[in-house]
Amino acid sequence: MQNTIALLKQKNELRVIEDALDIYLEIPHLAYAEVKKQDGGKALLFTQVIDAKSGKRFDEPVLMNVFGSYRRCELLFGRTIESVADEITKLLHMKPPAGFIDKVTMAKDLFALKNIFPKRLSQEGECQEIKYFNDDVDLYKLPVLTTWEQDGGPFITMGQVYTQSLDGEMVNLGMYRLQVYDKNHLGMHWQIHKDSSHFFDQYQKAGKKMPVSIAIGGDPLYTWCATAPLPYGVNELLMYGLITKKPAQLVKSLTTPLYIPRDVDYVIEGWVDTDKMRIEGPFGDHTGYYTLEERYPLLEVSAMSMKKDRTYLATVVGKPPLEDKYMGWATGKIFFPLLKTTVPDLLDYHMPENAGFHNLILAKMQPLYKGHAKQFMHAFWGAGQMSFVKHAIFVDESAPSLENYESFTAFVLNRFTPKSLFITEGILDALDHSSDETLVGGKLGLDVTTTPKIAEPQLLGDAELLEKMQVSVPEIVAVQQYMRHTKNPITVISVKKEKSMKECFALLEPLYDYLRVVVFVDDAKNDVQNPYMLIWRVTNNMDAQRDVFIAGDTVGVDGTNKSSIDGFTREWPDDVDCTLSVVDALKSRGIWDLDDATFDKFQLV
């Protein structure tokens, strides 16, 4: 971690903030603002960290936004992201040697692989210089942040969670939300589909407590590895060795059988009683919404250790763009070769950050036969963490770059018909709030790999269209048309919701000649002229089985918040918003430097 800070300073990628700032809202609010800046801003090192509520001043600094730009990602990887992907591709396509030269080359490649496997050391590590056991454990010694006003408490955001299967044969490194309940208890936000949750099931069936070790800090690549979507049972630290060409050096935890990297900054160890669960949350999360209270496993901490010279690593979650934009970019590039083993005719894919990654995937493929794109949809929705993706758009090789959103959108809309839609049901991320029941809901696939004949609509100006719409649906407040030059313009309608959008869509039937794709959003907290945040809102809020309406050539999409009006019985969560009094206080001290235009664009409130 000290090497990382020195590197960031050397490359002018670090902003050091020496003002005394609170772990409650102030520090995370500043980090949230920083990552919204052009190119992700800079990494932030807070050197004077306090807990104003208790009056405590912490010895260690807090480091945030360390992965928050493309440049910093490659600095931390020590190489280009593409070179890592190329290496994985080479390994996946390694063939038997045809001659002596091939044998020598393969021998070199295989010899290099010896460094990818983690190495267990017999001595203690730097992470165990200071030790606390049992009653001396106090999680409040750590500067754990409380990010949002409605959060259920402080939680560890960059924890490397090490677990193992009941028989000890498999180990897992993951990243999960870790709520601090008190001085020696943590909530383990193990979503039901995650590897650690599978291990938990094994211990629960056996009636045994489950060991857990949590590391914070060290080489930032350990933290990235915790997010890597490797197959079940594969040790994520293998990626560390593959990237750095040196093995992760591990030491045994003090009170559990688990091994952790010797040079992390903190280690929290303990045991999960599989018979005990506790309410966790609510917490603002990367969806941009609060996730609701739910029962999760409880960790009783048996030991805590740390370096003498340590830094607390953290991130911030909320509305996009966030640090995970850049971490997700690296992950997508690196694991593309592995995804191609499932769908070999895949040419490229991209997950826009303003859709929260799992809410939308854009994919370019080489279609070889009728229905090929639908086959890909099924493959995606059955492949590891890809199975959480809600909406998928498939194009052929003639499409423009997936990251050129303007051209890509025009390409899709010039090929789209209602027959392009494929709606089904599948599993959802536990953080998804839109479906009628948890963990399962609608999936939407869009196959635009062919060029059908499309009748273009008649066009009206926004003002004239709004006036005509309000005759049928007085609740409509504003209208904004996008992509009017395509065969399927998108009409965004904001409403003061008094009836279901399905009913509103039906009432607009006299205007269908002027409409092709109609998207409804609430008037409150939405700007129909802000497409970036509209995509965030709509992909979060819609369940394809419930919220897509088709009438001839016209398609409606309901991106509004759901309630009893829609027959929705679950609790609908609030947006994650900054606390204005905190922002104002930071402004008055000259610390907040985010311009108002950016503040408004990304809807920080």
Q: What angle do CA 169, 175, 176 make, to 5 degrees?
A: 110
* 3-state SS, residue 466: helix
Which residue's entry shows tokens 């650690």?
Answer: 196
The dihedral over CA atoms of 205, 441, 319, 188, expressed in degrees to the nearest 10, equals: -10
Distance CA 325, CA 69 (A): 8
Is residue 403 within 8 Å of 409, Cβ to Cβ?
no
| 389 vs 113, more confident | 389
Q: What angle do CA 178, 181, 185 make, to 5 degrees?
A: 75
The tokens for 43 are 């990494």
CATH topology of 81-308 equal to that of 462-566? no
pLDDT single digits (tens) 281-293: 999 998 999 998 9
Distance CA 545, CA 537 (A): 17
Is residue 130 within 8 Å of 306, Cβ to Cβ?
yes
Fold of 323-448: UbiD C-terminal domain-like (3.40.1670)
Q: Which H, E and C letters describe 19-83, residue by residue?
A: EEEECECHHHHHHHHHCCCHHHCCEEEEEEEEECCCCEECCCCEEECCCCCHHHHHHHHCCCHHH
The mean pLDDT of 562-569, rounded to a whole number, is 95
Q: How much is the pLDDT for 85?
A: 87
Is residue 544 within 8 Å of 444, Cβ to Cβ?
yes
The tokens for 417 are 């018909």
Distance CA 321, CA 34 (A): 10
- Chain-centroid distance of CA 116 in Å reads 26
Which option is the CATH number for 81-308: 2.30.110.10, 3.30.70.270, 3.40.309.10, 3.40.50.20?
Answer: 2.30.110.10
Q: Any residues with CB less than 8 A from the CB of 23 and at least 6 apart, and which?
A: 49, 50, 51, 58, 62, 143, 144, 145, 146, 154
The mean pLDDT of 236-255, rounded to a whole number, is 94
What's the one-letter identity of residue 341? T
Q: Any residues with CB less than 8 A from the CB of 523 and at least 6 apart, and which?
A: 477, 478, 494, 495, 496
As beta bridge partners, residue 478 has 494
Report the relative pairing of strands 62-64 and 312-314 from DSSP bridges.
parallel
Is residue 295 within 8 Å of 579, Cβ to Cβ?
no
Quickly list DSSP for 154-212. Answer: -EESS-EEEEE-TTSS-EEEE---EEEEETTEEEE---TTSHHHHHHHHHHHHT--EEE
* 3-state SS, residue 318: coil
Mean pLDDT (the chain, rounded) = 93
Q: How much is the pLDDT for 234?
A: 83
Fold of 462-566: UbiD C-terminal domain-like (3.40.1670)
pLDDT single digits (tens) 136-157: 999 999 999 999 999 999 999 9
Peptide bond into 321 cis (omega under 30): yes
Nearest to 67 by CA among 179, 158, 194: 158
Label residue 112 by pLDDT band (50, 70, 90).
Answer: low
pLDDT single digits (tens) 18-63: 999 999 999 999 999 999 999 999 999 999 999 999 999 999 999 9
Please check the confidence at residue 253 and state whether its pLDDT lies above 50. yes
* 3-state SS, residue 255: coil
Domains of the chain, residue spans: 81-308, 323-448, 462-566
The mean pLDDT of 562-589, rounded to a whole number, is 96
Distance CA 422, CA 599 (A): 37
Distance CA 267, CA 305 (A): 5
Please check the confidence at residue 106 and state whether its pLDDT lies above 50. no
253: DSSP letter: -
Question: How crowded is residue 337: how many other Cβ atoms within 10 Å of its Cβ?
Answer: 18
Cα 533 to Cα 40, 321, 351, 540: the distances in Å are 17, 10, 15, 11
pLDDT single digits (tens) 431-477: 899 999 998 999 999 999 999 998 888 999 999 999 999 999 999 99
Q: Comparing 162-171, 227-236, 278-287, 581-590, which segment has the lowest mean pLDDT?
A: 227-236
Cα 255 to Cα 172, 218, 291, 307, 392: the distances in Å are 18, 20, 32, 17, 45
What's the one-letter identity of residue 567? G
pLDDT single digits (tens) 490-529: 999 999 999 999 999 999 999 999 999 999 999 999 999 9
Distance CA 121, CA 249 (A): 7
The percentage of residues in the chain with a pLDDT greater than 70, rounded to a whole number, is 96
From edge to edge, which strands make up the β-sheet containing 490-495? Answer: 476-482, 490-495, 517-522, 554-558, 548-551
Taking each helix axis from N to C end, the angle separating 81-92 and 70-77, rounded to the nearest 10 degrees, works out to: 60
C-alpha count within 13 angstroms, C-beta hemisphere, residue 148: 27
pLDDT single digits (tens) 529-562: 999 999 999 999 999 999 999 999 999 999 999 9
Label residue 109 by pLDDT band (50, 70, 90).
Answer: low
